[in-house]
Amino acid sequence: MPRTEKASSMTMELEQTRRPRAEKAAGKPVKSAVPKVSAWARWRFGLWVPPLVTFVALGIAWEYVAHSNPFVIPPLGNIAESITNDPSAYWNNLLVTLKEVAVGGGAAIVLGYLLAVLMCEFKILERALMPVVMVIMVTPVIAIAPALVVAFGFGMLPKYIVTIIVAIFPILINSLAGLRAVDPGTLDVLRVVDASRWEIFWRLRFPGSMPYFFAGLRIAIPFAIIGAAVAEFVAAGEAAGLGAMVSIAASQANLEVTWAGISMFCVLGLLFVAALTLLRRRILWWDNHGRAPK
């Protein structure tokens, strides 16, 4: 079969030009069925150079503005210096915020998914609760937060509640959609053999809802950080957490501390999203964003 041979040698060539140098040198056989992208391959030129250029350009622009208008934004060096001068203050505030995000966000994830399961299994619960969910969802959290602080005081509780309120909706709405979006054919196959509700949930709905659940997580985690920041802003009387730190520093026109606090939020968010991406790749290897792993 000369034609097939030619075709396959052409794909070999294509594969090899695309493959990282290290593997080509080792002369490994090219397995094209499910190519494993190595860490090195992900660092191809076209992937990391464009964003790097963007960040460098932004940095230069920042420095230019900071040096010509020192009362608008501080130079990057001063921000870094502010952190290295008093790392423990930043660290302690970061831990407070991290705790709020972890506890509030964690509770939102568990409650949101449980609520979605209950609403999926008992339609009457959805009828009963969904309107309330909508009412709370359309109310700006920044308006609810001060009222919660009044009701629950300056402790951690109102912060957890605000975080839960913001983060629960994407989890609930997405998970419910995912639990319902199972293949009707598979559902029929299971019903014909009298699979119980629990079996249908465990074998079909639960794994099937995971891509939706993770899509919800991707929105919910940044939302949880917003919730924690908002709660700290409105309860600034208690000077703990990055939000309180930013709020107090800004009111004192302390630009270095303000921006150092903001950058901490940024790092916090990035760490969570990176962890989520890794977790997703481990758990949802079969989903692959709907693309075939070919």
Partner 1 sequence: MNAALTTTGAEVLARGVTKRFGVRGQPVTVLDDVDLRIAPGEFVSVIGPSGCGKSTLLRIIAGLLDADEGSVAINGEAVPQAIRHKAMGLVPQTPALLPWRSVRDNVLLPTQVNTAANAGRNLLDVDELLTSFGLGKDLRKYPRQLSGGMQQRVAIARAFVFDPPVLLMDEPFSALDEITRDQQRLGLLDFWQSNRRSVMFITHSVPEAILLSDRVVLMAARPGRIAEITEIDLPRPRDESVFLSPQFREYEIRIREGLRRVMKNAQD
Kindly state the helix (H) or strand (E) to which residue 205 belongs, with its residue range.
none
Report yes or no: 105 and 160 within 8 Å, Cβ to Cβ.
Answer: no
Asked if 191 is part of the footprint of partner 1 (rule: CB under 8 A), the reply reads yes
Candidates 196, 237, 253, 282: give the one binding partner 1 (CB under 8 A): 196
Q: 109 is written with which tokens?
A: 């994830």
Binding mask 50-89 for partner 1 (x = CB under 8 A): ----------------------------------------
Asked if 34 is part of the footprint of partner 1 (rule: CB under 8 A), the reply reads yes
Indicate the residue among 37 and 58 with the shorter CB distance to partner 1. 37
Indicate the residue among 124 and 292 with the shorter CB distance to partner 1. 292
Length of the chain: 294
Residue 153's φ and ψ, nearest 5 degrees, are 80, -170
Asked if 289 is part of the footprint of partner 1 (rule: CB under 8 A), the reply reads no
Asked if 92 is part of the footprint of partner 1 (rule: CB under 8 A), the reply reads no
Asked if 190 is part of the footprint of partner 1 (rule: CB under 8 A), the reply reads yes
Task: Pick the stretch among 67-75, 79-87, 116-124, 196-204 that binds partner 1 (CB under 8 A).
Answer: 196-204
Task: Pick the stretch among 35-43, 139-147, 182-190, 257-265 that binds partner 1 (CB under 8 A).
Answer: 182-190
> CB 104 → partner 1: shortest distance, Å?
30
> CB 20 → partner 1: shortest distance, Å?
24
- Whole-number Å distance between alpha carbons of 260 and 76: 9
Candidates 207, 219, 250, 262: give the one binding partner 1 (CB under 8 A): 207
Candidates 9, 92, 122, 199: give the one binding partner 1 (CB under 8 A): 199
Asked if 13 is part of the footprint of partner 1 (rule: CB under 8 A), the reply reads no
Kindly state the helix (H) or strand (E) to which residue 20 belongs, with its residue range.
none
- Whole-number Å distance between alpha carbons of 51 and 22: 24
Report yes or no: 222 and 275 within 8 Å, Cβ to Cβ.
Answer: no
- Whole-number Å distance between alpha carbons of 32 and 69: 56
> CB 204 → partner 1: shortest distance, Å?
7
Report yes or no: 168 and 137 within 8 Å, Cβ to Cβ.
Answer: no
Asked if 189 is part of the footprint of partner 1 (rule: CB under 8 A), the reply reads yes
> CB 24 → partner 1: shortest distance, Å?
25
Indicate the residue among 21 and 294 with the shorter CB distance to partner 1. 294
Residue 10's φ and ψ, nearest 5 degrees, are -70, -40
Closest CA to 132 of 101, 165, 104: 165
- Whole-number Å distance between alpha carbons of 139 and 246: 25
Q: Largest alpha-carbon pair distance within the chain? A: 80
Q: 84 is written with which tokens?
A: 């290295």
Q: 244 is written with which tokens?
A: 């309180």
Candidates 64, 118, 183, 267: give the one binding partner 1 (CB under 8 A): 183
- Whole-number Å distance between alpha carbons of 179 and 173: 10
List interacting residues with partner 1 (CB under 8 A): 33-34, 183-186, 188-196, 199-200, 203-204, 207-208, 286-287, 292-294
